[in-house]
């Protein structure tokens, strides 16, 4: 019988332990190899699925492109035939009227004396018509930011002053263009205005704009910009420049 305290017995016990560890790690390796093979299968499956989805999407795009190309051809033919038909009837081609104009601010900044309460910006806003078409039904939006800290005033009147008999006033050149103009100014800083009887002009100027910046709300960074509208469905024309200011 082997003595459990002998070197031989301890050596046999270590051999048994290491053999068990070898078996355990072999099993772990086999498990990992199986997982690797499984992930390879999964990867192949996903790649195949992705190829199918991409092919379906590409087919859908190709079909849509084909339909659009067909629609373009139909429209081109329609335009060509309509032009030919007008020539046969002797009717002139329809010419789209385009408006050519630009607008800009010129201004100066006046800082208060020491202890003063506000900074003032004095400005004129000018619209120049460089085209042949009159600028009818024009509406201007002057937007000031930040709301509540910048106040704009000038020769702009309440349109109600022009209502009723005896209200033809030559001194009124610009009026507010919307009914709730006060609310619009307070909520979004937008001044919607329009000229009175502009008729045909090459240059139209809104004079004497005074922009007041509340000194108690410093530091402040602000912007005044203008947008001109002729049709609510079209994008506005933006003034060539803005009034940008920063007061520490």
CA distances from 247 to 72, 219, 222, 240 (A): 55, 6, 9, 23
State residue 5's pLDDT score. 67
Residue-range domain boundaries for the chain: 1-93, 101-247
Task: Answer yes or no: is pLDDT of 26 > 90.
Answer: no
CA distances from 10 to 18, 21, 23, 140 (A): 12, 17, 20, 100
State residue 165's pLDDT score. 53
Q: To which H or E segment does residue 123 belong?
A: strand 118-129
Query: Strand 156-157 to strand 174-176: parallel, antiparallel, or no bridges (unpaired)?
Result: parallel
Query: Strand 220-229 to strand 156-157: parallel, antiparallel, or no bridges (unpaired)?
Result: unpaired
CATH topology of domain 101-247: Immunoglobulin-like (2.60.40)
Rounded average pLDDT over 133-151: 87
State residue 188's pLDDT score. 92
Task: Answer yes or no: is pLDDT of 98 > 80.
Answer: no
State residue 43's pLDDT score. 86
Instruction: Pick the range with the lowest mean pLDDT from 36-50, 97-111, 165-179.
Output: 165-179
Look at the pTM and tell me if it is higher than 0.75. Answer: no
The contacts of residue 129 (CB under 8 Å, 6+ apart) are 99, 100, 101, 135, 201, 202, 203, 204
Task: Answer yes or no: is pLDDT of 113 > 80.
Answer: no
Give me the residues paired with residue 46 across strands.
none
Nearest to 153 by CA among 105, 108, 213: 213
Residue pair 174/155 in contact (Cβ under 8 Å)? The answer is yes
State residue 88's pLDDT score. 65
Query: Strand 220-229 to strand 139-145: parallel, antiparallel, or no bridges (unpaired)?
Result: antiparallel
Task: Answer yes or no: is pLDDT of 141 > 80.
Answer: yes
State residue 4's pLDDT score. 63
* Per-residue pLDDT tens over the stretch 154-210: 889 888 887 755 456 677 889 999 989 999 999 999 999 999 876 667 888 999 999
Mean pLDDT of the chain: 82
Instruction: Pick the range with the lowest mean pLDDT from 3-12, 26-35, 210-219.
Output: 3-12
Alpha-carbon distance 20 to 11, whole Å? 14
* Per-residue pLDDT tens over the stretch 72-95: 888 888 888 777 766 666 554 444
| CA 124 to centroid of chain Cα atoms | 28
């Amino acid at each position: 019988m082997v003595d459990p305290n002998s070197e031989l017995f301890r050596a046999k016990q270590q051999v048994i332990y290491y053999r068990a560890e070898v078996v355990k790690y072999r099993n772990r390796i086999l498990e990992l190899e199986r997982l690797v093979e499984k992930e390879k299968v999964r990867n192949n499956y996903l790649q195949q699925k992705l190829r199918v989805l991409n092919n379906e999407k590409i087919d859908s795009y190709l079909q849509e492109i084909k339909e659009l190309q067909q629609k373009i051809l139909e429209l081109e033919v329609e335009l060509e035939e309509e032009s030919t038909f007008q020539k046969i009837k002797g009717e002139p081609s329809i010419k789209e009227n385009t408006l050519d104009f630009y607008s800009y601010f010129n201004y100066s900044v006046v800082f208060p004396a020491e202890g003063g309460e506000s900074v003032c910006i004095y400005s004129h806003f000018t619209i120049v018509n460089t085209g042949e078409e009159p600028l009818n039904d024009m509406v201007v939006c002057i937007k000031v930011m930040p709301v509540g800290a910048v106040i704009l005033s000038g020769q702009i009147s309440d349109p109600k002053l022009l209502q009723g008999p005896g209200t033809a006033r030559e001194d009124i050149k610009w009026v507010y263009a919307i009914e709730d103009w006060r609310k619009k100014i307070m909520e979004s800083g937008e001044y919607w205005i329009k000229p009175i009887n502009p008729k045909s002009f090459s240059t139209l100027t809104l004079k004497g704009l005074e922009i007041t910046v509340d000194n108690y709300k410093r530091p402040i960074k602000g912007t005044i910009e203008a947008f001109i509208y002729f049709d609510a469905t079209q994008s506005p024309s933006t003034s060539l420049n803005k009034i940008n200011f920063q007061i520490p």
